[in-house]
Amino acid sequence: MISQADILRSRILIVDDMKANVVLLDKILSGAGYSSVESTTNPLEVCELHHKNRYDLILLDLSMPVMNGFAVMEGLKKVEGEGYLPVLVLTAQPDQKLHALNAGARDFVSKPFDVAEVLVRAQKILEIRLLNRETKTLYERILAEKKVSERLLHNVLPSSIVERLRMRPEDAVENLPDIIADRFAEVTVLFADIVGFTKFSETVSPEALVDILNDLFTRFDDIADQRGLEKIKTIGDCYMAAAGIPVPTADHASRAAHMALDMIEALKRFNLRRRINLQVRIGIGSGEVVAGVIGRRKFRYDVWGDVVNTASRMESHGVPGRIQLTEATRQRLSEAFELEERGAIDVRGKGEMLTWFLNSRTAIPVS
C-alpha cells in the first residue's frame, strides 16, 4: 500500500526559467511536507538530471526561451523509454493544455498558481507514479518466483513433461483432471547401487555421508545429461535412470551402456579424489514400460513395468564393480561394446535368466 509518507518522500524537480515561479512552487511543496524538492531554471539540463535522479514528478514550464517544455518532454521520453512520463506542465495559455497532454504530460497547472490546485494535481500524479512502480516491483517479484518454481519443476520432471503441464488450463495442475501417462515399447532401464554403503555409512558423520552421496550422484547426473538418459530417482544409495523416455530413441540400449561404463570410470576418479574405496553394482534391462507423473503437490515422474523389476534384479544379482545386463539388452547393443556371457543365473521372482557382463567399449581400429 502507498502511504502519504511515501508520497511526501517522492523526488520532485521544478523546471521554470522564471526564478520567482521556482521559489513559489518550492515553498508550496515544501510547506506541504515534501522533503525532496529540487529545481532548475535551465531546461537544457533536465534530461540529464532526470537520468541521474529519476524524479517521481517534474513540474515543467511550457514557455521557456532556450528550450520549450514540449522539446524537454521529447527528451524525457528517451530517458523513460516506454515508461510513465511524470510531467505536470505549467502554463498560462489555455490552448497549450490539450497539446501538452497529447505530448505525454500527465496533467497541467494554470498560471498564476493556485496552491490547492498545485498540491492536488501533484499528489494525483505521484500516487499513480508510485502505484505503477509498486505494481512493477510486484510483477517482477512474481516473475522471479515463477522462474524459481519452473527451475524446481524442471529439476523434478523431464522438460517435455513440464511443457505438457504448462499447456493445461490453470486449474488442471491443481485438480489433475487427466493423467499424464505413456507406454513406451523400447526403453532401457539402469539401476546402480553402492556396494556395502550401509556399513560404510556407520563409519562417517551424517554430514560427510550426505556430502559423499551428493557429490557422487551429481557426477552421475552429469553423465545422464551427456548420454541422453532421464534420471528417474534415487532411493537411498540406489540410482535409477532410463533411456528412451520421455522422448523415444532408437539407440536407448547403447546410451545406457555408455552411461554405465562412464559411471564405473567416474567412481574410480571419485575414489581417488576422496581417498575411499567404494564400489558400484549396475544392472540394465530393456523392454516395454509405462511412464507418467504421480502426485498432486509433490510431482514425480516414474516408470513401471516388468523391465524395471528385471533391471533391478540385474543390479541386485550382479557383481561389485561390474555391469550386468539382460539378453534383451544384449540383442539391442551393437558391436561397439565388449560383452562377456555370464550364463544362466537364478533370478528371484524371474527364474533362470541368461545374463551378460558389459566389460568395455570395443577399440576403434586404426585405418
DSSP for 300-342 reads EEEEESHHHHHHHHHHHTS-TT-EEEEHHHHHH--TTEEEEEE
Band of pLDDT at residue 177, cut at 50, 70 and 90: very low
pLDDT-based confidence at 365, cuts 50/70/90? very low
290, β-bridge pairs? 183, 304
Q: According to DSSP H, which parts of 54-177 are helical? A: 69-80, 95-102, 115-156, 159-166, 172-175
Residue 163: pLDDT above 80?
Answer: no
Residues 146-173: what's their mean pLDDT? 65
Give me the mean pLDDT over the 98-104 stretch. Answer: 88
Q: Which of 361, 306, 356, 347 is nearest to 327 (CA)?
A: 356
Could you tell me which of 290, 288, 150, 163 has the C-alpha nearest to residue 232?
A: 290
Q: What is the mean pLDDT of residues 343-350?
A: 88
Distance of CA 238 to the CA centre of its chain: 28
> Does the bond joining 86 to the residue before it have cis omega, within 30 degrees of 0?
no
The mean pLDDT of 217-221, rounded to a whole number, is: 96
Residue 136 above 80 pLDDT? no
- pLDDT band per the 50, 70, 90 thresholds, residue 166: low
pLDDT band at 253 (very low <50, low <70, confident <90, very high): very high
Instruction: Look at residue 269 in the predicted model and tell me its pLDDT.
Output: 96
Average pLDDT, the chain: 88
Query: Residue 152: its pLDDT value, please?
Result: 62
List C-alpha distances in Å: 46 to 34, 39, 87. Answer: 20, 9, 12
Q: What's the rounded mean pLDDT across residues 12-34?
A: 94
220-240 residue pLDDT tens: 999 999 999 999 999 989 999
Least confident residue range of 75-84, 205-214, 220-229: 75-84
Q: How confident is the model at residue 137 (pLDDT cuts 50, 70, 90)?
A: confident
Phi, psi of 204 (to 5 degrees): -130, 165
| Percentage with pLDDT > 70 across the chain | 90
Overall pTM > 0.75: no
Does 168 score more than 70 pLDDT? no
Residues 298-303 have a mean pLDDT of 82
Q: Is the pLDDT of residue 342 over 90?
A: yes
CA dihedral 78, 80, 84, 88 (to 10 degrees): -70
Residue 26 host element (H or E): helix 19-31
Query: What average pLDDT does this structure show over 114-128?
Result: 92
Whose CA is closest to 240, among 159, 179, 154, 300? 300
**Domains delineated in the chain:** 4-138 (3.40.50.2300), 177-361 (3.30.70.1230)
pLDDT for the residue 335: 86
Q: Give the mean model confidence (pLDDT) for residues 348-363.
A: 90
The confidence score (pLDDT) of residue 301 equals 84
Over residues 351-358, the mean pLDDT reads 94
- Stretch 317-326: mean pLDDT, rounded? 96
User: Which is more confident, 51 or 159?
Assistant: 51
Percent of all residues in the chain with a pLDDT value above 90, rounded to a whole number: 64
